[in-house]
Structure 1
Amino acid sequence: MAEFLQAKDNRKIIHVDIDAFYAQVEMRDDPRLKKLPLAIGRDPDKHLGHGVVATANYVARKAGVHSAMGSIEAKRACPNLVFVAPDFDKYRAISAQIHAIFHEFTEMIEPVALDEAYLDVSSNKMSAPTLAAKLRKRIWEETHLTCSVGVSYNKVLAKLGSEHHKPNGVTVIPHNLAQDFVWELPIKDFRGVGAKTLEKFEKLGIKDGRDLYAMSQDDLRVYFGSFGDVLYWQARATHFGPVKDRSIRQSVGKENTFEFALHDRQVVEAAFKELASKVVANMEKRKLLGRTLTVKIRDDDFHTSTKGITQSVPFELDPAFMVRQAMLIFDEAYPDDMAIRLLGLTFSNIEEQKYQAVSLFEQ
């Protein structure tokens, strides 16, 4: 039965996990932190011993520091640990950038956290490994952040894959290798196996996926209740849970990265016109409106500037208006010499079309 179910699952699922997201962002923004053990959280020396580690970089993790650990305990494990207070507004903004990249590859996206999501790319004609490579390249170009990616035919295997080679790794688990992969997996690495479950497995002498596979479904139910069914199918590399889009899309935008820098204002305006027409067509197709329009410009020195305008009611879907707004911002930022490598236009504060939008210039 399990083999039949497995053979019928021909989806292409990608799981993306940004490596030590909060810590990596802070190291990117302050390179002096890269070689230091870093924790994101409140410093216990400055907050009367209070605080919890939100995440830690890999230097700190080697010293025994991990997320959800109390700050005092983390300091004991790593006395030279450096604490940086979290900046969740910044993290949310970067997460939105990353999710906008996801939408370049598929509309079937299930966010798990700011730094993690499942993508169903089954409808994309390119192979899943090729898409994963392009996705990682886009995230690096856009944010200068690395990610770990798992590629397979279901969500569980994709998640196990992204955890298999961390950080900055890719693991592809095709049908013909899936069962061997699961058999060799230590029991502690199975999804949902925590400390108490692991203790039970140790008493039962279950050490890896092959041992788990040998257990009957009835025995697993006896020892683990309904979770036994989950374990039974995990051991058979089978899971049919769909990638679920949990909310209305948060932004609709389009960017263009240029192989050669743009030096002419008329060429920049033409590029904005092309972007505006694509964004408006996308919004109209999905019957969406936006209350915030953001313009993004990156120059040859990798300096990125973004500026948005927000109004209380949605904007009219007018490409000409978008280009006018974009050029006003562009002329303010680059009055003289220019060497432009990326341009972008994005609508956010998205809502479904329910009434007629108005233009900013009509207010």
Structure 2
Amino acid sequence: MKRSIIHVDMDAFFAAIEEKDNPSLKGKPVIVGGTEERGVVCTCSYEARKFGVHSAMPTYIAKQKCPFGIFVPVRYERYKEISSQIFEILFSITDLVEPLSIDEAYLDISNIEDESLMIAKKIKKKVKEETGLTISVGISYNKFLAKLASDWNKPDGIKIIEENEVPEILLPLPIRKIYGIGEKSTKKLNGIGIYTVNDLMKIPTDLFESYFGKYGHEIYNRIRGIDNREVKISRKVKSIGRETTLKRDINDIDKLQKYVERFSKNIAYSLEKRNLAAKTLTIKTRTSDFISHTKSKTMNEYFYKVEDIIIVGGQVLKEIDLNLDIRLIGISVSNLKEKSLEQISMF
């Protein structure tokens, strides 16, 4: 089966959320990070990048490069909230999702019948509709090329790298674009006249280990379009959950139950894919005063069927105080173990 991998990467994620929450910042050089002199830039808007500001840059240097920049502190909880919405969209496409960070992930869509470009456009559309933010998407037959493609037309980009385009499409690229070649290696290679992938292709095989150590073989293959890494979903899973920020605050238990049912279907699918069962179910809410609350229930027996998750979720939901309107709801299952025998429904 031909592999089809998608890499998604939010555009200037933290800065974009600050602009979303404060529209007066739109189009301005927004710099998110430590606001004190000893602070560090986490990310910045594309307007700030034009001045040479970038992530991991000390704040005092960013202020020198962009004296009219608008410096805002990090609000990590807010970014995590939006990230959860985005990953809910990704998991609605496929369960084969490998998160790389709060705003970046791989998806393996090899088993999905829909065309990869249509899936990518669907992701972009849903992210825009549900969060107001843009996301760049790369599509190819392996992880390296998919990640490379997502950076091709940023921001709000989409790019496919087909197998018949490789290695020609890579040859003009600067070597710093190749995953695994860091700043030190780039300077070292530039010092001997190697600036592009085309230059790098001319290096004998045995010299790759001299320059890149144990990663030499991987880099040799990468620039030739070879990358056999799988999308990893086998990391130790402690919990599986879904959550969403509601478009309008509500305290109607029947409406909230609909979200429980929707999330239960996704969670049941994830449990089935991983051959897991759960014993504890937790519902998380965030009220209109932005305070988060959780309520859990641990069962005597393990469960994984969608109807069982819905029933337990309904029981927990009834115990939640709805005096304040709810702005976020989430459901997760934990206390997981591998299914050894087929279990019947608890109810």
- Normalising by structure 2, we get a TM-score of 0.79
1:287 to 277, 280, 292: 277
Contact 1:279 1:346 in 2 (8 A): no
Report deviation, 1:38. 1.1
The gaps in structure 2 that reach 5 residues or longer are 247-251, 340-347
Secondary structure of 1:55 counterpart: strand
Map 1:33-182 → 2, pairs under 5 A: 33-44=25-36, 49-182=37-170
Query: Matched residues in 2 for 1:54 and 1:88: separation?
Result: 11
Whole-Å Cα distance in 1 between the matches of residues 267 and 57 of structure 2?
A: 46
Residue number in structure 1 paired with 2:12: 20
**Structure 1 residue 277: deviation in Å?**
6.5
CA distance in 1, matches of 2:319, 2:335: 26
1:186 positional shift? 1.9
Residue 275 (1) aligns with residue 262 (2): yes
Q: How many angstroms apart in 1 are the aligned matches of 2:299 and 2:12?
A: 36
CA contact (8 A) 1:53 1:71 kept: yes
Q: How far apart are residue 270 of structure 1 and its match?
A: 9.2
Q: Give distance in 2, aligned partners of 1:223 and 1:253.
A: 44
Question: 5+ unaligned residues in a row in structure 1: which ranges?
Answer: 1-8, 258-264, 298-302, 335-342, 356-363
- Displacement of 1:56: 0.8
SS in 1 for 2:227: coil
- Residue 80 of structure 1: SS of its match in structure 2? coil
Of Structure 1 and Structure 2, the greater helix share is in 1
Task: Determine the C-alpha separation between the residues in 1 that align with 2:267 and 2:104.
Answer: 28
- For 2:218, the equivalent position in structure 1 comes to 230
Show the counterpart of 2:344. Answer: none
Alignment-derived partner of residue 248 in structure 1 = 237
Q: CA deviation at 1:227?
A: 3.1
Contact in 2 for aligned 1:17/1:116 (Cα 8 Å): yes
Contact 1:15 1:162 (C-alpha < 8 Å) held by counterparts: yes
Q: 1:319 aligns with which of 310, 321, 340?
A: 310
Q: Secondary structure at the match of 1:293?
A: strand
2:185 corresponds, among 193, 197, 205, to: 197
Alpha-carbon contact 1:40-1:86 (below 8 Å) kept: yes
C-alpha distance in 1, partners of 2:257/2:185? 60
Cα distance in 2 between the residues matched to 1:69 and 1:171: 29
Q: What percent identity do the matched residue pairs reach? A: 33
Deviation track 1:307-361 (CA, whole Å, cap 9, x = no partner) reads 8642264698353564577699898789xxxxxxxx9974226331599xxxxxx
Asked if structure 1 preserves the Cα contact closer than 8 Å seen for 2:239 and 2:336, the reply is no
Q: Secondary structure at the match of 1:287?
A: strand
Q: Give the TM-score, by structure 1 length.
A: 0.76
8 Å contact kept, 1:221–1:227: yes
C-alpha displacement of 1:220? 2.3
Paired position in structure 2 for 1:310: 295
Measure how far apart 1:69 and its partner are.
Answer: 0.6
Look up the equivalent residue of 1:190 and give its one-letter code. Answer: I
Q: Where does residue 30 of structure 1 map in the other structure?
A: 22
